[in-house]
A = this chain, B = another copy of it.
Amino acid sequence: MFVAMTACPDPSRPDHPTAKALLDAGGELFGAHGFAGASTRALAEKAGVNIAAIAYHFGSKEGLREACGRETARIMAQDIVGARADALDAALAAGVTPAQARGMILDLFDAIAPAMLARADFEPVVRFLLREQDERSPAFERIHDGFIAPMHERLCRLWGAATGAAPDAPATRLSTLSVVAQIVYFRVARNVALKRMGWTRIGEEEAAQIAAVVRANLRAMLDAAAREARP
């Protein structure tokens, strides 16, 4: 009772059941049909709440979008890397051998690939992220600064430790992105991949096949980079 209960009491509160339901619906519908393609009526119906709840809890449809961005950043940071981030930082600070660094990179992608590709609850998260980065929205800035940039930096440092290449060299920064690319592609161009592979979906089995190919590519790339840096 310290502040008046005006509209939009707290934009970032996934604890409230109505707000939570709207955040889930937003992640799904914004991702599936884009911001313009998801009407407030469809969002409210999907969430099982009243249309006016959007304005009440998030101020506006745009407010809901931004709150979804915060949710996405939180989920990705928590579920994709989780405790791994601290372990990586500790290892990098303590120093790692090339073989250790190589193993850590391979392990990292072995963990990322199945989550990114097969986890059904990640579909809306990734789709939402891609839409936001496409529109250069403030929500994307948050996700970039909080999750993407730190992970890319760690990856470049590991890459340098594993191959002897300079972590800040453009080629290193591009190489690491090109590994991420191979996983992201099967999300983004999923319908192309499904048709080309004759699959009906990307489940655990299919994700494992993709992960195996990415792992093989990664090994080949690391070997080549190491030969390049330490002939």
Contact = CB atoms under 8 A, between A and B. Distances in A.
Interface in A212-228: 212-214, 216-217, 219-221, 223-224, 228
Interface in A145-162: 148-149, 152
Interface of A: 33-37, 130, 133-134, 136, 140, 144, 148-149, 152, 170-171, 173-175, 177-178, 180-182, 184-186, 188-189, 191-193, 195-197, 209-210, 212-214, 216-217, 219-221, 223-224, 228
A215 to B, nearest CB: 11
B130 A188 contact: yes
Query: Which of A212, A220, A221, A223 gathers most chain B CB within 10 Å?
Result: A220
Number of copies: 2
A224 to B, nearest CB: 4
A92 B140 CA distance: 45
Given A36-B34, A36-B36, A185-B181, A175 B213 contact: yes
B217 A149 contact: no
